[in-house]
Amino acid sequence: MTLNKFTLVSFNIYLLSCTLMIFTIIPYWSQWISVIQYPLFFLPKYWVLVFLLPVAFSLFKLSFRRLVLLCSTSIFLLFYFFGFQLPEIGLDNYKQSDTITVMSANLAGKHETAKWVNKALTSRKIDFAGFQEIRIDLAEKFKPKGWKLHCQTGLCFTSKHPFENIKINKTNFPVSLYKIEIKGRSEYLINVHLETPRKAFTNFSLATPFDSFKENVNKRYHEAKQVKLLIEKYKPAFVVGDFNMPVESAIYKENFSTLTNAFDVSGVGFGHTKFTSLHGVRIDHILTSKMYFPLKTWVHFDVGSDHNPIISNILIR
């Protein structure tokens, strides 16, 4: 193989890596595209470096235009896979009385998260927070004095504002509905933990290779539809939780696009909330109605869970 052919092959490999990257961020028109989408989220983060390695050996043969394209796209890929986010800065110049601060966190049932959560709820001046994968004994440890706490089916909600739990028809997944008093307003809030696409891979069988994917996609689609029905019925001001899907997902777009995604309008960077040794992606969300406007949203640092908490400072219109 000549040097020119090697350069051509390496550049084609580079284009392939970019194509794979596009599959993880473009909008999807069918929930079945998640069969392609989610395997990419579970690939090791360093896979992109493997694709770029052949290019590194043939840089001197690339034109200036290709070199600029290579460098700029490489930076984007690295930022994406390693969760680029600007450091948290000061709050916007709004009166504290006109804003509220909301937090959502999947704590994975780990006790080491209790100390941080208790500190965050007070020092960050959080108004209320929804938690997923949590037991009531753990929640009791971090609940600030004087705050009300309610837990059910692996979900907990705590607030310094008065609230009541609203009973809904029994579902086969964790979802809670609350009516909360916020500075003279009565608003509804939904806390959710939707099915993970990981089950499609853990339940995979060579004997029936498509069954696990079909079952998982259908279940996730059904759960999202149930939450959408709650949204249409109660017109909640907030929906928080572990959605186990990015905003690019077709399931997300069909069921939750009527609400404002706090990080989309006021976050900086990619805001990955789920980090493991294999991947990073933003699947935890804070959604608001049009009556509330997110001023600043950020993903907090590692607190001991495999998810990072997401926090949003929100203006009351």
Q: What are the domain boundaries of the chain?
A: 3-81, 96-316
- Sorting pLDDT into bands at 50, 70 and 90, what band is 169? confident
The pLDDT value recorded for residue 256 is 96
Question: Which CATH fold topology does 96-316 show?
Answer: Deoxyribonuclease I; Chain A (3.60.10)
236, amino acid identity? P
Q: Two tokens at 310?
A: 């997401």
The CA-to-CA distance between both ends of the chain, in Å, stands at: 65
Of 284, 316, 289, the C-alpha closest to 300 is 284
Torsion of CA 57, 60, 63, 66, to 10 degrees: 30
- Sorting pLDDT into bands at 50, 70 and 90, what band is 286? very high
Q: Are 305 and 315 in contact (CB under 8 A)?
A: no
- pLDDT: which is higher, 4 or 29: 4
Mean pLDDT of 122-137: 90
The pLDDT value recorded for residue 29 is 44
CB burial of residue 150 (10 Å; 0-12, 13-18, 19+): middle
The pLDDT value recorded for residue 123 is 79
The pLDDT value recorded for residue 5 is 57
pLDDT at 60 over 90: no
pLDDT at 45 over 90: no
Global pTM reads 0.76
- pLDDT: which is higher, 156 or 215: 156
Phi, psi torsion values for 29, nearest 5 degrees: -100, 0
What's the whole-number average pLDDT of the chain? 79
pLDDT tens across 107-128, in order?
A: 987 877 877 888 888 877 899 9
274, amino acid identity? K
CB burial of residue 255 (10 Å; 0-12, 13-18, 19+): buried
pLDDT at 312 over 70: yes
